[in-house]
Structure 1
Amino acid sequence: MRRLRTLALVLAVLLPGAAAAAAEPVVDAPAGVVHGVQDRDLRVFRGIPYAEPPVGERRWRAPAPLPRWDGARDTTRFGAACMQPKPQAPSIYGWDLPAMSEDCLSLNIWAPQDARGAPVFVWIHGGALASGSGADPIYDGSALARRGIVVVSINYRLGMFGWFAHPGLSAESPDHVSGNYGLLDQIAALEWVKRNIGAFGGNAGNVTIAGESAGALSVMYLMAAPAARGLFHKAVAQSAYMVSAPGLRDRINGMVPAEVQGAELAAKLGAADIAALRALPAADIPARVAATGYFPFPNIDGKTLSRQLVDTFDRDEQAPVPILAGFNSGEIRSLRFLLPKPPADAAAYEATIRTAYGEFADAFLTRYPAKDIGESMLAATRDAMYGWTAERLVSNQAALGQGAYFYLFDHGYPATAQWNLHAFHAAELPYVFGTAARTPPLWPKIPDSLAERRLIAAIGDYWASFATTGRPVAKGGPDWPDYADNRGFLHIADTPRAGHNLFPGTAALHEAVVCRRRAAGDVPWNWNIGVASPPLPPKTEGCQ
């Protein structure tokens, strides 16, 4: 490293224009030498590979470590996005997709210029495990890094490339399992961080994993995965959903085994064996798979994942780390395609709920009444998926004696009001990252006002301080109570305000329903909520 710096200084003196080149930050990490971009007081490195490219015979195999590379690697540009379908319709979440490739296992780093032993914040993007990229502009880590932390964003395999299980793949695996490749990628990225982040000024002993939506689902699976233990020390889960997952070979919770799903998918693609699957052109796979209705998901394989998330957390087998978790008041307003067709009228709505929820119907209808079916359906799905999950997470971690910080993001502005998207799914992201000016083209535009800037500053402070110390604090903001303090939470509306006991009894209602479904063993607890709910299973020991 000293020789590189000396050479740069000599070039700056002897060669015209070399001073600009000398300003490029150069880091000699265990993985190899990289040179990035100087952004005022930050050093930025983009597209650093963290594993061997999963191409050819490595397609649908666990990620393999890269040997140290020779020479200095150019890390001034983002790496390719992982393979994914092109959007079929306009969306508020949509970007013009960058170049895509199977060779996509890379990460990006934003580090303060003078970082030494700084906290590390590792971001896992959302996108239903089927789309997205760590390079999306809304995830730019500059504002968070300027709060004194090292920010890392990662890519991981998506769709069929990341989650496909098949008997042939299991047969060639030393552990006789398949699927979960995207999760293994995330673990490999964390292992890379542990080995290398010190060279960039980060502290491998103070790592926070964070994500939103499918990224938050990934955070929960990392908390559950034995192979990820010790690779992180705090967790942030924004709009997580603790749904049931299929077994690798067993039919559990009413879900088709992952290997069966994989064999059916291979048949639809006309592939007789794994060799034929690996021969399929990567560029053709996303659109062909999307046309089959395949949905990517982790599976319970007994190796990477031992059991359903709810069971792992109930048995106190998850990582014992502080957590910050919450959800948005308008989660489903931008996800209405997930809702079932509403009943014809109030009478039909109430009759459907009473049939589905049995002795819990009165409690359900009190919270989600028939007088406004549309709003009730939005709120019920929000609470049963995102609200229940967030409160369950903070409750479980608090029971382990860990710091547990719960929030409700309930902030809107004129454009969200105009489009009836108040506090929609992912609306908190530009506030966390300070990227209000870098949202997707169709995103409701955030005003550049003093009030918005103050809220952005407060949320960035809370998240960065949690990554630093495990306790969220904001300059000039209210103290964020621990969930253990009478179900404490932070209500983030136009300004943050501390509160206690959010939506009394609501999480308990949905927990009771899930408990019955878990006990029955043949019912998932995914999007079958409200008018889409199957009949409530009978009461059993341990469930209300």
Structure 2
Amino acid sequence: MSEQPATAPIATTPAGTFRGVSLPDVDVFKGIRYAEAPTGDRRWRDPVPAAAAVDEVDATRFGPIAPQQTNPALNLGADARQDEDCLFLNVWRPADTVDTPLPVMVWLHGGAYTFGSSSQPIYDGTALVHSGGGVVVTVNYRIGALGFLDLSSFSTPDVPFDGNLALKDILLALHWVQRNIDAFGGDPDRVTVFGESAGGGLVTTLLATPSAEGLFHRAIAESSPATSMYGPARAREVAQKFLHEAGVDAAALATVRDLPVDEVVRATMAVFAAVPAEAPGTLAFAPVVDGDLVPEAPASVLKAGRGLPVPLMIGTNRDEASFFRFMKSPLMPVTEADIERMFADMKAENPEVELPSRQAVLGSYEGVRQKVLGLGIARDIAFRLPTIWIAEGHSAVAPVWLYRFDHATRAMDLIGIGATHGAELAYVWGNLDTAPKDPTFWLGGRRPAERISERMRVRWTAFASGASPDVTDAAHWPAYEPEARETLVIDTEDRTVADLDAALRAGWGDRVLAFP
């Protein structure tokens, strides 16, 4: 949708006065700074709240995105600019203001904690605002080594470092929303945080972060890698790998702040590839269970029903792992050798837990062809099993709605992608045409996709408003209960299935496992 000349919308907030852009029925404010530049002495330090702007701020252009290696799978936008000074957010709202404050949806983008940004074209909030009449906020946070490398164990009084920086960026952005969103028409008492992949992992982490209490009131986690988090010892090993790769001597650690940002990105990518090569299924960069900000492993906290008691929508996609195979990504163990190594590593990671037998696990995939068996196991270890455990446990303290996205067009099935990782994003956001040379509709299927997208946007925004997502004329979507375990399967025709994951639970068991 092209921007057109109109009276510029103005929002006057405690953070300053912002001049945005008026689109048909929607106002958008771009590139709003919520933290000071995390550069120089602030590299690898906690974020600092941005000072209130004295003069009116031109909020008509997205701010820079976090430094990263360009990834052909991600359309970052034609005007994307990379800069270490990247802590900005964007706001979409209905153009016609109303007296009643509107629900707010705060988006955390995905990208394996190493890629992506809040300003990707697929995350344009216009369609979501049209569907739900609420306010949409998308947030940049530090990624890769700049956001997830934990150098805190190397800190000295003269050379201090902090950890869990990206998570702290997000907490600071949520504080910004609490203080300022009412000036955009939003209700600070009805904030839903939602995200996919790494963003979904951040959402489930927030649910287990005590200091996040009160900053959001509902949560949506799409394809959360909730168990892909590690403790301080593992974080230090990754930090040592990074320092070695970057040629930084531990005796002169202060020089790490002088590295050119391009060198930081290069070393990030080297470690990003090396860690899963050594331990299949392991991420190099992720939030850290530090015993402080994140006291315990989030999946364990949520499975035990000890998370923040806010309603949750959570789910995965039918063919999560196919994307990683297609992209030849190092992140997902899909070969038989990788799966065998992962099982061995699981035993080492869970020395006091009776693991399911290999025979029992393989029984979960009865009838699955050997060629795709690894894809199924990788998909379930990374995404579906943690999601099931979280739905089961969190339903004891708050309403939970569980889904699985199964829809794929004929072209995507023929390519072998199916309903892969991230496939639901275009439908959730109502942006079906943002990827150049996208093959999705080469063989048709556009009209059914539009209807699916409309239903999903209605469900997602109804949930964010404080209602049940069971609001369409399609399949009934009841809240998850441990007895019936009903799941909404999203497809050309939605359907509700009781205990969709019975075979998985039987094979893998209901205990949260620490995966490598």
| TM-score category, normalised to shorter length | 0.7 to 0.9
Instruction: Give the equivalent residue in structure 1 for 2:137.
Output: 152
Give the whole-Å Cα distance in 2 for the aligned partners of 1:525 and 1:378.
Answer: 16
For residues 123-154 of structure 1, give each alpha carbon's deviation from its aligned partner in whole angstroms, at most 9, with x where no partner exists: 10000100100001111111111121100110
Instruction: Give the equivalent residue in structure 1 for 2:292.
Output: 303
**3-state SS of 1:498 partner:** strand
Instruction: Give the equivalent residue in structure 2 for 1:464.
Output: 461
2:46 to 62, 70, 74: 62
Q: Does residue 1:227 correspond to 2:215, yes or no?
A: no
2:508 to 489, 507, 510: 510
Instruction: Give the equivalent residue in structure 2 for 1:284.
Output: 263
2:336 to 330, 337, 342: 342
1:407 to 403, 410, 414: 403
1:165 to 144, 150, 154: 150
Instruction: Give the equivalent residue in structure 2 for 1:433.
Output: 429
Give the whole-Å Cα distance in 1 for the aligned partners of 2:153 and 2:501.
Answer: 48
- Give the AA of the match of 1:495: E
Q: Does residue 1:198 correspond to 2:187, yes or no?
A: no
Instruction: Give the equivalent residue in structure 2 for 1:500.
Output: 498
Confirm or deny: 8 A CA contact 1:93 1:442 kept in the other structure.
no
Instruction: Give the equivalent residue in structure 1 for 2:314.
Output: 325
Q: Does residue 1:271 correspond to 2:251, yes or no?
A: no
Give the whole-Å Cα distance in 1 for the aligned partners of 2:472 and 2:355.
Answer: 48
TM-score (norm 2): 0.87
More moved, 458-467 vs 164-173: 164-173
1:105 to 82, 87, 104: 87
For residues 48-81 of structure 1, give each alpha carbon's deviation from its aligned partner in whole angstroms, at most 9, with x where no partner exists: 1111110111111111111211111011111111
Instruction: Give the equivalent residue in structure 1 for 2:278.
Output: none
5+ residue gaps, structure 2, are 276-283, 348-353
**3-state SS of 1:436 partner:** coil
Structure 1 residues 29, 511: closer, same or farther in 2, change over 3 A? Answer: farther
More moved, 288-297 vs 114-123: 288-297
Instruction: Give the equivalent residue in structure 2 for 1:540.
Output: none
Aligned residue pairs total 482
Instruction: Give the equivalent residue in structure 2 for 1:130.
Output: 114
Q: CA deviation at 1:171?
A: 3.3
Give the whole-Å Cα distance in 1 for the aligned partners of 2:7 and 2:445.
Answer: 33
- Give the AA of the match of 1:270: G
Q: CA deviation at 1:442?
A: 4.2
Instruction: Give the equivalent residue in structure 2 for 1:375.
Output: 372
- Give the AA of the match of 1:320: P
Confirm or deny: 8 A CA contact 1:322 1:470 kept in the other structure.
no
Instruction: Give the equivalent residue in structure 1 for 2:34.
Output: 50
Instruction: Give the equivalent residue in structure 2 for 1:75.
Output: 59
TM-score (norm 1): 0.82
2:305 to 316, 329, 340: 316
Give the whole-Å Cα distance in 2 for the aligned partners of 1:358 and 1:310.
Answer: 17
More moved, 483-492 vs 103-112: 483-492
Confirm or deny: 8 A CA contact 1:36 1:74 kept in the other structure.
yes
- Identical amino acids, percent of aligned pairs: 32
Within-5 A mapping of 1:478-493: 478-484=475-481, 486-493=484-491
Give the whole-Å Cα distance in 2 for the aligned partners of 1:367 and 1:390.
Answer: 17
**3-state SS of 1:109 partner:** strand
5+ residue gaps, structure 1, are 1-19, 518-523, 527-544
- Give the AA of the match of 1:99: R
Give the whole-Å Cα distance in 2 for the aligned partners of 1:173 and 1:408.
Answer: 50
Structure 1 residues 21, 490: closer, same or farther in 2, change over 3 A? Answer: closer
- Give the AA of the match of 1:162: G
Instruction: Give the equivalent residue in structure 1 for 2:515.
Output: 525
Confirm or deny: 8 A CA contact 2:334 2:378 kept in the other structure.
no
Give the whole-Å Cα distance in 2 for the aligned partners of 1:68 and 1:358.
Answer: 53
**3-state SS of 1:45 partner:** strand
Give the whole-Å Cα distance in 1 for the aligned partners of 2:83 and 2:107.
Answer: 21
Q: CA deviation at 1:179?
A: 2.1
- Give the AA of the match of 2:487: F
Q: CA deviation at 1:277?
A: 0.7
Q: CA deviation at 1:506?
A: 1.1
Confirm or deny: 8 A CA contact 1:157 1:185 kept in the other structure.
yes
**3-state SS of 1:335 partner:** helix
Confirm or deny: 8 A CA contact 2:117 2:140 kept in the other structure.
yes
Confirm or deny: 8 A CA contact 2:38 2:85 kept in the other structure.
yes
Q: CA deviation at 1:316?
A: 3.4
Give the whole-Å Cα distance in 2 for the aligned partners of 1:470 and 1:73.
Answer: 35
- Give the AA of the match of 1:111: R
Confirm or deny: 8 A CA contact 1:462 1:473 kept in the other structure.
yes
Q: CA deviation at 1:498?
A: 1.9
Instruction: Give the equivalent residue in structure 1 for 2:360.
Output: 363
Within-5 A mapping of 1:435-450: 435-442=431-438, 444-445=440-441, 447=444, 449-450=446-447
Give the whole-Å Cα distance in 2 for the aligned partners of 1:359 and 1:311.
Answer: 18
For residues 278-314 of structure 1, give each alpha carbon's deviation from its aligned partner in whole angstroms, at most 9, with x where no partner exists: 1111133102331243621221222211111233224
Q: CA deviation at 1:226?
A: 1.8
Give the whole-Å Cα distance in 1 for the aligned partners of 2:158 and 2:182.
Answer: 33
Give the whole-Å Cα distance in 2 for the aligned partners of 1:489 and 1:503.
Answer: 9
Give the whole-Å Cα distance in 2 for the aligned partners of 1:479 and 1:369.
Answer: 29
- Give the AA of the match of 1:319: L
1:393 to 376, 390, 393: 390
Instruction: Give the equivalent residue in structure 1 for 2:172.
Output: 188
Instruction: Give the equivalent residue in structure 2 for 1:40.
Output: 24
**3-state SS of 2:433 partner:** helix
